[in-house]
Amino acid sequence: MKVNQLLRNSKIALLSFLVISVSSCIHNEFEEPPTNVIPVGKVYTIQDLYAIYDSVYFAEETESATYKFTEDCSVYAVISMDDKSGNLYKSAYMQDGIRGINLHLLSSGGLYEGDSVQIFLKDLVLGKYSGMLQLDSVDTDKNVVKVATLRDIEPEVVTISDLITYDGILGRPYIGRIVKIDNVQFQDKELGKTYADATNLITENRALENEYGDTIVVRTSGYASFADQKIPEGRGSIIALAGFYNGDWQLLIRHVGEVNFNQRRFGDYDTVLFAGFDGIDNGIAVSLTDWENYQQIGSISWLGSNNGESATVRIAGNDEANTTWLITPQVAINGAKLKFSTRGGFLTGATLKAYISNDYDGQGNAENATWTELSANIGTGPVSSFGAWTESGTIDLASYNGQAYIAFKYVTEAGQNGQFYVDDILVFNE
Amino acid sequence: MKKGILILTALLITIIGFAQEADTLPQKSPEIPVITLTDSELDEDNQSQDISGLLSSSTDVYVNIAGYTFGQARFRIRGYDNQNTYVLIDGIYVNDAETGRPYYGNWGGLNEVMRNKVVSPGLAFSDYSFGGIGGVTNIITRPSQQRAGTSISYASANKSYRNRAMFSHSTGLMDNGWAFTLSGSSRWAEEGYVQGSFYEAYSYFIGAEKKINDKHSIALTFYGSPSRRGKTGVGTAEVYELTGDNFYNPNWGYQNGVMRNAKVGTFHQPRTMLSHYWQIDPTMKLTTSVSYAAGRAGSTALNWYDAADPRPDYYRNLPSYYEEGEFMYDYLTEMWQNSETFRQLDWDSFYHANRKNLYTVEDVGGEEGVDITGNRAKFIIEDRRYDLNRIDFATLFSKELNEKTKLITGINYLSSKTHNYKLVEDLLGADWWLDIDQFAERDNADDVYIIQSDVSNPNNVVYEGELFGYDYVTNITKSSAFAQAETKLEHIDLFAGVDVSYTEFWRTGNMRNGKFPANSYGNSPTYKFLNYGVKGGANVKITGRNFVLLNAAYLTRAPFVRDAFVSPRTRHDVVDNLTSEKIYTGDISYFYRSPYVQAKITGFYTQFTDGLQSSSFYHDELRTFVNYAMTGVNKTHYGAELGIEAKLTSTFTATFATGYGKYLYSSRPSVTIAQDNSSEVLAENRTVYIKNYHVGSMPEYAASIGGKYYAPKYWFVGLNANYFAESYININPEKHTAEALNIFVTDDPQVEPILEQEKLDPGYTFDIWGGKSWRIEDYTIGFTLSINNILDNTDLITNGYEQYRFDQNDIDKFPNKYFHLYGRSYFLNVYFRF
């Protein structure tokens, strides 16, 4: 290779490298767009939104009335329920101090329970959806600023009747809010069912009841992640969102974990002690194993009463001073409750009271022990006949945990008289 | 860019300067434009380009024409998937081990050094390999075999790229026994033919060879083609009509006023090869090569969490989701037609959403009490990677037993590991991404275990550049040996070959997925396949001008890993009844050759049995990737090919080529449909009634007639008229099950459209190409120009497919998607050699 050829080659090679190292200006790095700040404007409370809506509603007198925000304004609240579990779809609820409201979202997701948010209201529409106030077409990206997270709302404890009460000023104060209802259970007819029909994705209602027979439905979407779970059979508390749909109240569950029905159903119990006195000898002084039929004063005893159809125990006075005890065997109390029935008659001063003692030794001499009177309804009766059988009501014995005795003490002063029946003494655990 | 133009202008001036001194020395072989005619858009992760460039150097008259005129319409010779074509580089099999497909992009832009090829089409005997039924191409890059000299070229085009600059220099075998080759190129386009697409690719090749003595030579080569490109999309007739653009690309949008593509493919898998050439004696040769290839492959995509589907062409964002006359129908029509922001990605809105999505992750990394509060990403760009690490060994022995007979035998081994994972590429203004399986989350809202991508690192907060989602390696080893012999007798040439291979593959999970904790981490069972093949052929020389050729082969093929695993992103499960595919094929040709006419007519028949086809797509309602695996797929391909080249005058040659085949399913496969986010299968072994349906996605008929004029004064021009027909779209197997029709009575008018396989309209195109060269002393300069689809017909649908989603209750909800042939496109190459 000649020198000049080499030189030429190297020149060409240099040129070639330049050709190949052509750097095109193909975009690789992209500038971030400027931050788009969502303004605040006038600040409303949720109650203000209700008031704003009411003014439109009263003017137009129709449920289809709407109000569109046209100025910069915002409402601050905490998301109380999101659509993550699938029980809501494109929807969320939020609440501030005293009120709650539904948000209808343009797309699902993006808002989470506990998010403290500013909702920029401009161009949003306030309207009613099946009787419930709703902020419509909320765009999570355009209308919402998250201020803080994990601000969980303490649910307000209410009863079913509290919940459904119509308040003259606030209307329905609990609408759209998270509430906690204690001591409820699903009705018998619901047991064995799932929350909803997850197979066919159908929304279903399950009725709850409380001890007074008040009811309210739990409504669950077929798309909810827990739709295919069986409803719990027990009784207890539920935390849920109070919804209102075409005049009917309904509870919406956020998480199945907030349905805490781990107590026995109403009426279900474990018997610690029961005395129904079946087969007792009629007219004979009660003499049952471990029971005491103790005459502290006077000579009358508790007697068996058995007419072949019903068996019970009774005591009747003799116009003299008497203090006669009927004391149960020792019972172990651990949060147990007591119920019994009594019936009084021909009462001219005689009294019957129920007591409990933790220090009685079970051996006669009841007066040596400490007895606490129990608050029970005792049957009363007129002077010349019998009254009705009376339920004592459920008496909580939780304060007397440990070994205890329950006693029924009949007392008359001289010149007083009266009869009492006692039956169905039940110490039970719920 | 400006710099580039400047240099190129300088180069052009230099060339023109030389041109003025033009001399008219004869040149032996005019350049035929070897160009890449189409982009492969069908296969998302496939950087493979069509085969045309490769085949154009074939000596087979039909294959030669079909190679570069039919490729533009996605015509495939004999309807074969390119898995059936073996590509070797210096004897090393370079098809991807996972998919069996050759990825031409791995050496894209190295045209100069990859131009020496030995093509054995179809079942023809190859000196290098037993091969696949679609033939073998061996590319020879040995520096000593490269033409000595320097070459520089610049090309301008309006296809996937608009500019190409190439350079190569080879010393040839020098007196000191060394040979060196150096080559490089750049290809780029700020925007290719399709809006929003861009292209940026480079390449390099360094080769050195030392001839130690007359018997031994050693060559070491190193090459690679780093590339980045903005991908194009595919749409339904509705979006093409709404946008008035048959090349509508949903992948891009404006960010801060600058066009940005969400799907960017980035590849760079350099390969190093060391070869030893040993001429044992004049009749015996032993070539041994080892090669190591490693590098990145992958493509970015948008991912989103708890936000509306941001893809503009998501079916719920289209007017057709609503009834005509509804408010939304009119609104969306108006927006699609008139708002570019609406019909493209809205990057600014992603930033806006991400910057204010405050969120607290508790127990980060599973550590109690460790909380992170920040802006959780709703939208990110993720980089889905499948990085390669592969070692190959090949040894090839050839012996000429006598003047008529030669024996070729070889041993090959490959070990391929593909690392599949995702990285957070761009948080788009957010602080981090939470790595949980949002697809599992809805069904398991209160279960913090099941939603974890990796239970060993729960509630993982990931930042840019960090790995998340899935992380596994697919391992393949394959050992094979073949032997074949060819003998050329007076009236007949005969060859026969046999091939045996042993393949093992398994999956190694690096994450323990919360949904499949027992079945996702560590090594899966190893699946083993012993395969073999036999082939043979005869060339009966009736006279010196008339030949009859017969070939036949039978072979079995291990399933490809890409098809075998049901849901490799999440677990070890493979499809039921994994078995080798069996292929038998035969062809018969009559070949006529005279000084003026070459003509070849061929009939072929191929049967594929027990095939496996898998595909996966994102199902928006199930919020998961759904994986279809069809087993027991049999296909029959048969047809005829004709190629004629007639030298009508000393300067004018006429060509005609036509291929017509039927590529049909010939069994009722079973389909199993599984989900990434649940072990519950959506369908198990459902019978797919597709017997006698077309395999589809290519024209079954193509014809081209053309003429080439080679002027004595070193210029040439050619014209081709091409016709394509009998093209059927790809079918969705789910539509062809009894279950898909179970709500219809048999005479329901909806049944027919569900079952019908759409046949595309035929079409024709005209291509023109030409060139001229000059020789000035030791220099050659020249140019070639080709223009495809001169009439600028942009309505020609080359291919389509049925969407894999299907709704019984609204059979038009997920309409077919179509690809169109590019309109008029050109490729102008100016070169300079010395």
Which residues of A, range 36-55, sit inside 8 Å of B by Cβ? 36, 38
Which residue, A231, A263, A295, sits at the end of a domain? Answer: A263
Domain boundaries, chain B: 306-343
- On whether residue A164 sits in a domain, the answer given is yes
CATH number, domain containing residue A352: 2.60.120.260
Residue of A nearest to B203 (CA): A20
* Structural contact between residues B514 and B677, judged by C-beta atoms closer than 8 angstroms: no
Q: Are residues A254 and A282 in the same domain?
A: no
A6 contacts: CB under 8 Å, gap ≥ 6: none
Q: Which of the residue ranges A300-304, B44-48, B500-504, B732-736 would you say has the lowest mean pLDDT?
A: B44-48
Q: Are residues A116 and A199 in the same domain?
A: no
Q: How far apart are CA B410 and CA B396, in angstroms?
A: 4
Q: Which of A19, A141, A225 lies at the smallest CB-CB distance from B349?
A: A141
Q: Are residues A223 and A311 in the same domain?
A: no
- On whether residue A68 sits in a domain, the answer given is yes
Q: Is A112 on the interface with B (CB under 8 A)?
A: yes
Chain B residues close to A255, C-beta within 8 Å: 445-446
Chain B residues close to A222, C-beta within 8 Å: none
- On whether residue A2 sits in a domain, the answer given is no
Q: Say what the pLDDT of residue A13 is.
A: 62
Q: Is B429 on the interface with A (CB under 8 A)?
A: yes
Neighbour count for residue B649 (Cβ, 10 Å):
10
Nearest to B595 by CA among B648, B518, B529, B538: B648
pLDDT in tens, B432-488: 999 998 777 766 666 788 889 999 999 999 999 999 999 999 999 999 999 999 999
Q: How far apart are CA B321 and CA B318, in angstroms?
A: 6
pLDDT in tens, B255-293: 999 999 999 999 999 999 999 999 999 999 999 999 999
Q: Please state the ipTM of this predicted complex.
A: 0.75
pLDDT band, very low/low/confident/very high, at A227 (cuts 50, 70, 90): very high
- On whether residue A425 sits in a domain, the answer given is yes
Which residue, A208, A231, A263, sits at the end of a domain? Answer: A263
- On whether residue A24 sits in a domain, the answer given is no
Selected residue of A24, A105, A115, A151 to mutate for chain B interface (largest B Cβ count, 10 A): A24
Contact (CB<8Å) B446/A256: yes
Q: Say what the pLDDT of residue B10 is.
A: 39
Q: Are residues A205 and A227 in the same domain?
A: yes
Residue of B nearest to A224 (CA): B443
Residue A186 domain boundaries: 156-263
- On whether residue A108 sits in a domain, the answer given is yes
CA distance B164 to chain A (A): 9
DSSP code string of A146-185: EEES--PPPPEEE-HHHHHPPBTTTBSTTTTSEEEEEEEE
Strands B670-675 and B678-687: antiparallel
Number of structural domains chain A divides into? 3
Q: Which of A12, A20, A257 lies at the smallest CB-CB distance from B165?
A: A20
Q: Is B623 on the interface with A (CB under 8 A)?
A: no
3-class secondary structure, A303: strand
Q: Are residues A343 and A415 in the same domain?
A: yes
Which residue, A124, A148, A172, sits at the end of a domain? Answer: A148
Q: Are residues A292 and A257 in the same domain?
A: no
User: In percent, how much of chain B has pLDDT > 90?
Assistant: 72
Q: Which of A24, A38, A226 lies at the smallest CB-CB distance from B1?
A: A24
CA distance A47 to chain B (A): 26
- On whether residue A112 sits in a domain, the answer given is yes
Chain B residues close to A16, C-beta within 8 Å: 150, 152, 167, 169, 184
pLDDT exceeds 80 at position B400: yes
CA distance A143 to chain B (A): 10
Which amino acid belongs to residue B549? L
Which amino acid belongs to residue B676? D
pLDDT in tens, B495-554: 999 999 999 999 999 999 999 999 999 999 999 999 999 999 999 999 989 999 999 999
Q: Say what the pLDDT of residue B46 is.
A: 34
Contact (CB<8Å) A30/B351: no
Nearest to B668 by CA among B639, B700, B635, B696: B635
Contact (CB<8Å) B442/A225: yes
pLDDT exceeds 50 at position A59: yes
Residue written as tokens 């006949």? A385
Which residues of A, range 320-339, sit inside 8 Å of B by Cβ? none
Q: Are residues A371 and A243 in the same domain?
A: no
Q: Are residues A93 and A180 in the same domain?
A: no
The distance of Cα B339 from the centroid of its chain, to the nearest Å, equals 34
Q: Are residues A276 and A386 in the same domain?
A: yes
Chain B residues close to A6, C-beta within 8 Å: none
Contact (CB<8Å) B152/A144: no
B399-408 mean pLDDT: 94
Contact (CB<8Å) B169/A141: no
Q: Are residues A50 and A170 in the same domain?
A: no
CA distances from A342 to A301, A420, A421, B341, B366 (A): 17, 7, 5, 82, 61
CATH number, domain containing residue A73: 2.40.50.140
Q: Are residues A100 and A161 in the same domain?
A: no
Q: Say what the pLDDT of residue B578 is.
A: 93
Q: Are residues A140 and A199 in the same domain?
A: no
Q: Per the confidence metrics, is the pTM higher than 0.90?
A: no
Which residues of A, range 123-142, sit inside 8 Å of B by Cβ? 140-142
Q: Say what the pLDDT of residue A9 is.
A: 60
Helix, strand and coil in chain B, % to nearest 5:
15, 50, 35
User: In percent, how much of chain B has pLDDT > 70?
Assistant: 92
The distance of Cα B478 from the centroid of its chain, to the nearest Å, equals 22
Selected residue of A20, A116, A151 to mutate for chain B interface (largest B Cβ count, 10 A): A20
pLDDT band, very low/low/confident/very high, at B65 (cuts 50, 70, 90): confident
Q: What's the burial of B812, exposed, middle or buried (CB within 10 Å: 0-12/13-18/19+)? A: exposed
pLDDT in tens, B18-61: 333 333 232 333 333 333 223 332 233 333 333 333 444 456 77
pLDDT exceeds 50 at position A160: yes
Structure tokens at A235: 């009784």
Q: How far apart are CA B484 and CA B495, in angstroms?
A: 7
Q: Say what the pLDDT of residue A166 is.
A: 83
Residue of B nearest to A116 (CA): B358
- On whether residue A20 sits in a domain, the answer given is no
